[in-house]
Chains A and B, each alone.
Chain A
C-alpha cells in the first residue's frame, strides 16, 4: 500500500512529480496553479533537486529546456495565458526531442479570461501547443488520484518518445482536496541518465549536441518520424474510461471535471431507467477514436458532449468518429462558471426525453 494523504490536486501533482524523479522545476506565478510551484519550491531542495522562479513563463520553459537537455526529469506548470507564452518553448522541446512535463491547470479564456476553472484549452492542448505542427501526449485526469497516476508515468512516455507530455486539468480539480495514495519514490543513478543527453555523468566521452534547427532534408525526415510516432500512440497509448456504454442509447463524452459531474448525472438517470452511458477520454491526444467510432449506432440515438467551456471544443474530434450516424448534442458552462449536478442532469434529461437541441 502506498502512503495516503489528503491533498489539493495541485499539491498531489507536485508530490507525484517528485516521486517520479522530477529534479528540476521552473515556473511563474499564475492562478489557479500556484500550489504547484509553491510546493516544489521547498520540496525539490529536500530531494537534491532545483527550483527556479522564472522571470516569465517564457524563461521558465526555456530553463526546463536546458535542464531536460542534461537528461534531468524536468517540469513546468502554468495556466492558459502562461501556456500561450510557453508555446514557443514547448515547440522547441519537440524540435530538440527533449522530454519534459508541462502542466496546464486551466481557467477561463480567451485572453486574461477569468481565474476561475474552465476547460477552454482543449484545442490548444490537442491541436497546436506551439508552431510547427507537432503534438504532445495530453493526459486529462479527473481526480487528484488520477493526476498522481498520470504524472508518475509522464516522464516514462516523455523519455520513450523524446517528446514533451502535457497534463491538462482544470482549476477546480487543481484546488479541491481529496485523499490520494502516493506511489513510492523512484530512485535514479547516473547510469540512468539518457545517452542522448548532454550530461557527462553517465560516462559519455564523445561530443554531445542538441539543436532545435536542422537542414531541410533532416527536418523533413524528423517530421515524418514524428508522424509515425503519433500513429503509434493511437495504437498503443489511448487511455479511456467507458462507463455503462454497452446498452446505452445516449452516450455522454466528457473529460476531467466535466466527466466527473456527468458521471453523477448518468448514474442518476440510470436509476430512473434511462439508458445513458459515459465515455471519458483520459488521453485527449491520442483521442479515444475507437471508443466512439465503434459504438453500435443502430442502438445509440445521440452523443452528448459535455464540457466546461462554450462552444464545446471536442465536438469536431467526436464528429469525425460519429460520421453522422447520430446527432451530437452539446452542453456546457464557460468563462469560469462551473458545471453543477442539476444543470448537467437536466441538460441530459432534456436530450434523452427529446427536448435537447441537436448541434451536430
Chain B
C-alpha cells in the first residue's frame, strides 16, 4: 500500500471548497502528478476566475492569478518566454467555454505547449449557480429556473469534441471524477498531458467532469449518482486525441 500523505503542492490550510466538491479532488490529482514528476519548483499554476480561484488560497507552488477566461492567453505569454516551465491553467466551464472561448480555441489552434485542466461542473459555482455553457438540457439553475430550454439557450457545449476539430492539439481527453476508475484514469491522463508538455509535444487538454452539491441542491452522494445518469451520458469520457507518442513538432 502506498502511503497516503499530503501533496507538497497543497498548503496546510482549508481549501475553501464546499464539502463534497470535486474541485478538491481535481486539484489533489494535479498536485500528486506534479509531485510524482518532480516538477514542484518548475510548475506554474495559472489560476482563473470562479471557484477555481480558490486555488489562490491553498496552492503552495508558483501561481499567477489571471482574468476571467483569459488563462490560455496569459499562459501563452508565460510559456513563450519561459518554455522550460511546466505551465497549466485550471479553468471552470463558464471561464473556459463562455467568456474564454476565443482564448481556449486560439491557444489550442496555435498548439501552445501547455496544459489546460478544465473542470466541468455545468454551473457557475462562485456566483451562485447560474446557467453555464455546459449546463444540461432541463437542468435548473438560478437563471433557468424551469430548466435549461434549448429553444432560447442552446445546447451544452462539448469542449473535447469541439477542440478535436483542430489540427494542432496533441492530447484531448475527458474523465469523470465520480467513480474510482474515472479518478485513476484522470490521474493517468493528467500525467500523460504533463509529460507530453515536458517533451514539447504541444497543446494538451484534460476535461474533468465534476459536481456542485451546493448549487445542484444535492447531497454529495446524490451528485455522484446524478453524474452517472445525466452528465456522463451527454459528456462521454474518453481520449479524443492522443498524439503524445509522435515526435515533437510532427
Contact = CB atoms under 8 A, between A and B. Distances in A.
Please determine whether chains A and B interact with each other in the same assembly: yes
A210 B60 CA distance: 12
Given A74-B77, A89-B70, A210 B102 contact: no
Interface string B77-92: 1101110010000000
A138 B82 CA distance: 29
A62 B65 contact: no
B149 interface: no
B56 A66 contact: no
Contacts of A54: 73, 106
B77 A26 contact: yes
A52 interface: yes
A142 interface: no
Given A56-B102, A62-B67, A65-B67, A207 B74 contact: no
Given A74-B77, A200-B42, A213 B53 contact: yes
B238 interface: no
A241 to B, nearest CB: 36
A68 interface: yes
B81 A23 contact: yes
A205 B53 CA distance: 24
Contact of A62 (B42, B44, B47, B70): B70
B244 to A, nearest CB: 24
B204 interface: no
A50 B110 CA distance: 14
A63 B64 contact: no
Contact of B73 (A63, A200, A212): A63
Contact of B75 (A50, A64, A66, A68): A66
Given A23-B81, A212-B67, A63 B62 contact: no
A264 B66 CA distance: 47
B78 A70 contact: yes
Contacts of A55: 102-103, 105-106
A352 interface: no
A353 interface: no
A68 B77 contact: yes
B61 interface: yes
A66 B77 contact: yes
A267 to B, nearest CB: 46
Interface residues of B, number: 31
Given A24-B77, A59-B103, A207 B70 contact: no
Most chain B CB within 10 A, of A55, A201, A205, A210, is at: A55
B80 A69 contact: no
Contact of B81 (A67, A89, A207, A210): A67
Interface string A184-219: 000000000000001111000101111111000000
Contacts of A211: 47, 56, 63-65
B41 interface: yes
Contacts of A70: 77-78, 81-82
Contacts of A65: 66-67, 70, 73-74, 77
Given A59-B70, A62-B73, A208 B62 contact: yes
Contacts of B62: 198, 200, 207-209
B27 to A, nearest CB: 15
B76 A63 contact: yes
Nearest to B99: A58
A67 B67 contact: no
A72 interface: yes
B81 A62 contact: no
A60 B64 CA distance: 17
A38 interface: no
A92 B66 contact: yes
A74 B74 CA distance: 12
Interface in B83-139: 85, 102-103, 105-106, 110
Contacts of A68: 77
B82 A199 contact: yes
A88 interface: yes
A55 B67 CA distance: 16
B46 interface: yes
Given A58-B70, A70-B82, A198-B44, A210 B77 contact: no
Contacts of B74: 62-63, 65-66, 69
Given A62-B73, A66-B74, A50 B102 contact: no
A319 interface: no
B73 A69 contact: no
A96 interface: yes
B64 A62 contact: no
A48 to B, nearest CB: 10
A62 B103 contact: yes
18 contacts: A26-B73, A58-B102, A60-B73, A63-B76, A66-B74, A66-B77, A66-B81, A67-B77, A72-B81, A72-B82, A74-B77, A74-B81, A198-B62, A199-B82, A200-B62, A209-B63, A210-B63, A212-B66
Closest 10 interchain pairs by CB?
A: A66-B77, A66-B74, A67-B77, A211-B65, A62-B70, A55-B106, A62-B73, A63-B77, A50-B80, A59-B73
Interface of A: 23-24, 26, 50, 52, 54-56, 58-60, 62-70, 72, 74, 88-89, 92, 96, 198-201, 205, 207-213
Given A58-B70, A62-B73, 15 more contacts: A24-B80, A50-B81, A52-B80, A55-B103, A58-B102, A65-B73, A66-B64, A66-B66, A66-B75, A66-B77, A198-B78, A200-B41, A208-B62, A208-B63, A209-B64
